[in-house]
Structure 1
Amino acid sequence: MKRRKLTFWLIVAAVLVLDRITKELAPGIPAGGIMLIPGVIGLRYAENTGIAFSLLSGVPRLTGVLGLAVVAGGYVWLRTKDIAPFPTVALALMAGGALGNMADRLIRGFVPDMIETLFMNFPVFNIADSCLTVGCVLMMISLLCRPKDWAKL
């Protein structure tokens, strides 16, 4: 259990560091953007004052406080639980992504986004968003394919 908690915090820290680095570099992206893989993915700087898909735009501090409450509540509930390795990774990715975006909402009043899909019309997103999404997918896989991991909770 101790090793899983260390793994959890190392993943959270890695997500936060990578997210912070990319968000600090994002304002330097040229106005026309940068094509990384033609027709597939590029970089374009955007500022999002809302949550997913710009929902609740214009109230970033409120969404930041709500995010803080969810992360804190999850931490308090889960800190004494013995969670299996697969869900531990999923939760760590989700926590790191949530904390990264929450910090930006509270400090900056917006979340910097920079990753743009060119093959479909999709909002610009960031590393924290990606980690949240991957964490959610892993969590769904865990819940559907490994329900015994959740029996003790």
Structure 2
Amino acid sequence: MNFRVSPFQQNRYFWLAAALGLLLDQLSKYWVTHTFSEIGDTLPIFSEIFHFTYVINTGAAFSLFSGGVEWLRWLSLLVSIGLILFVWLSPKLSLPEQLGYGCILAGAIGNGVCRFINSHVIDFLDFRLIQFPVFNLADVFINIGIVLLLYAAFFPVQGKTE
């Protein structure tokens, strides 16, 4: 007998990474909005190095396209739907591919939810030592996903993952 494995089971680490990443992103943004009383408030973790700072971003990463929330919300939705369909219709992906695409989906949905609900994204990770723009966990997951996909492209896994 030849039973077809469901798309959820076949690429289960994709779904797990996406769900876990989205949960962590949304919980962290909830924490920020309920911990800080106003935008601009900051909590030094390592003084002059790393703070939690409550800011809003109406653009994309690093405040690019500031004020472009209208088309960015739809872009997040299209990317999310595209990733879901791609993985749903794909044969079994390698573990780094599953985790990479799952992290990117978590980030796209995480920031997309903010754009649809709030018309902005909540950022709070503030590395002051290198004067880096404030960002959030969704941004972190997207970057982790890109690194994992680059790894998968340059170091393909032989055989099936488990």
TM-score range for the pair, normalised by the shorter chain length: 0.7 to 0.9
Q: Is the Cα contact below 8 Å between 1:60 and 1:105 reproduced in 2? A: yes
Q: Is there any run of 5+ residues in structure 1 with no aligned partner, and where?
A: none
Residue among 12, 25, 44 paired with 1:19: 25
Structure-1 residue corresponding to 2:126: 116
Structure-2 residue corresponding to 1:78: 87
Q: Is there any run of 5+ residues in structure 2 with no aligned partner, and where?
A: none
The runs of at least 4 aligned residues of structure 1 exceeding 2 Å deviation read 1-7, 27-32, 37-40
TM-score (norm 1): 0.87
Structure-1 residue corresponding to 2:45: 36
CA distance in 2 between partners of 1:21 and 1:41 (Å): 20
Amino acid at match of 1:97: G
Q: Is the Cα contact below 8 Å between 2:79 and 2:108 reproduced in 1? A: no
- Percent same amino acid at aligned positions? 27
CA distance in 2 between partners of 1:77 and 1:51 (Å): 23
Structure-1 residue corresponding to 2:101: 91
1:32–1:104 Cα change, 3 Å: closer
TM-score (norm 2): 0.83
CA distance in 2 between partners of 1:110 and 1:148 (Å): 42
CA distance in 2 between partners of 1:50 and 1:29 (Å): 21
Amino acid at match of 1:124: V
Q: Is the Cα contact below 8 Å between 1:48 and 1:54 reproduced in 2? A: yes
Aligned residues: 149
Amino acid at match of 2:100: A
